[in-house]
Structure 1
Amino acid sequence: MNNMVNVNPQNLQQVLGETSQEKLVLLSFYSAQSPECQSQAAILDKIASEYGEHLLVATLDCDVEQQLAAQLAQQIGLQTLPTLVFLKDSAPVDMLPGAQTEQQVRDVLSKHLPAQHELLLEQAKQALVAQDLNSAFNFAKQAYELDTTNARIKLVLADICIQIHKLDDAQALLDTVGESERDAYYTNIRAKYEQALEATDSPEIKALQLKAEQHPNDLEIKVELATALDTAGRKEEALETLFSILKKDLNFADAKATYLAVIASLPDGDSLAAKYRRKLYSILY
Structure 2
Amino acid sequence: MNMAINSMSNLVSINTQNLQQVLGETSQQKLVLLNFHSPQSPECISQIGILENLATQYKDYIVVANLDCDAEQALAAQLAQQVGLQTLPTLVFLKDSAPVDLLAGVQSDAQIREVLAKHLPAQQDLLLEQAKQALLKSDLNAAFNYAKQAYEIDSKNARIKLVLADICIQIHKLDDAQALIDTIDAQEQDAYFHNIKAKCEAALEATDSPEIKEKQSQVEQYPNDLELKIELSNLLNDAGRKEEALETLFTVLKKDLNFNEAKPSFLAIIASLPDGDALAAKYRRKLYSILY
Q: Could you state the TM-score of these two structures normalised by the residue count of structure 1?
A: 0.89
Which residue in 2 is equivalent to 1:217? Answer: 224
The aligned counterpart of 2:47 is 40
User: Of 2, 7, 12, which residue of structure 2 is paired with 1:5?
Assistant: 12
Q: Shift of residue 184 of structure 1?
A: 1.3
Indicate yes or no: 2:170 matched with 1:150: no
CA shift in 2, pair 1:187/1:79, >3 Å: same
The 4+ residue runs of structure 1 with deviation greater than 6 A are none
Provide the C-alpha distance between the structure 2 equivalents of 1:281 and 1:80, rounded to a whole number of angstroms.
63
Shift of 1:44: 2.8
**In structure 2, which of residues 267, 280, 283 is the aligned counterpart of residue 260 of structure 1?**
267
Long gaps (5+) in structure 2: 1-7
- Cα–Cα, structure 1 residues 230 and 81, in superposed 2: closer, same or farther, change >3 Å? farther
Given the alignment of the two structures, is residue 227 of structure 1 paired with residue 263 of structure 2, yes or no?
no
1:90 corresponds to which residue? 97
Is residue 116 of structure 1 aligned with residue 123 of structure 2?
yes
- d(CA) in 1 for partners of 2:230, 2:261: 8
Q: Match for residue 5 of structure 2?
A: none
Give the whole-Å Cα distance in 2 for the aligned partners of 1:18 and 1:255. 59
Q: Please tell me the residue identity of whatever aligns with 1:112.
A: H
C-alpha displacement at 1:192, in angstroms?
A: 0.8
2:201 to 189, 194, 203: 194
Counterparts in 2 of 1:111 and 1:218: CA distance versus 1, 3 Å: same
Q: Give the one of 132, 141, 146 matched to 1:139.
A: 146
Structure 2 residue 58 is matched with structure 1 residue 51? yes
Cα distance change, pair 6–245 in 1 and its aligned pair in 2 (3 A): farther
Change over 3 Å in CA distance of 1:166–1:30 after alignment to 2: farther
* Cα deviation 1:45-88 (Å, max 9, x = unaligned): 34333433332222334565555445544543334333221011
Partner Cα separation in structure 2 for residue 160 and residue 35 of structure 1: 48
Give the alignment partner of residue 109 of structure 2, picking from 89, 102, 106.
102
d(CA) in 1 for partners of 2:207 and 2:285?
26
Name the counterpart of 1:280: 287
Residue identity opposite 1:255 in structure 2: A
Q: How far off is 1:187 after superposition?
A: 0.9
**CA–CA distance in structure 2, aligned partners of residues 259 and 36 of structure 1:** 57
Partner of 1:166: 173
Superposed displacement of residue 179, structure 1: 0.8
Distance in 1 between the 2:256 and 2:28 partners?
A: 65
1:182 equivalent in alignment to 2:182: no
CA distance in structure 2 between the partners assigned to 1:126 and 1:262 by the alignment = 25
Change in 2 beyond 3 A, CA 1:94/1:200? same
CA contact (8 A) 1:37 1:81 kept: yes
Sort the Cα spacing of 1:255 and 1:16 in 2 relative to 1 into closer, same or farther, 3 A.
same
- Counterpart of 2:158, as a letter, is A
Superposed displacement of residue 171, structure 1: 1.7
- State the alpha-carbon separation in 1 of the partners of residues 261 and 45 from structure 2: 54
Q: How many residues align?
A: 285
User: How far is 1:174 from its partner?
Assistant: 1.2
CA RMSD of aligned residues (A): 2.3
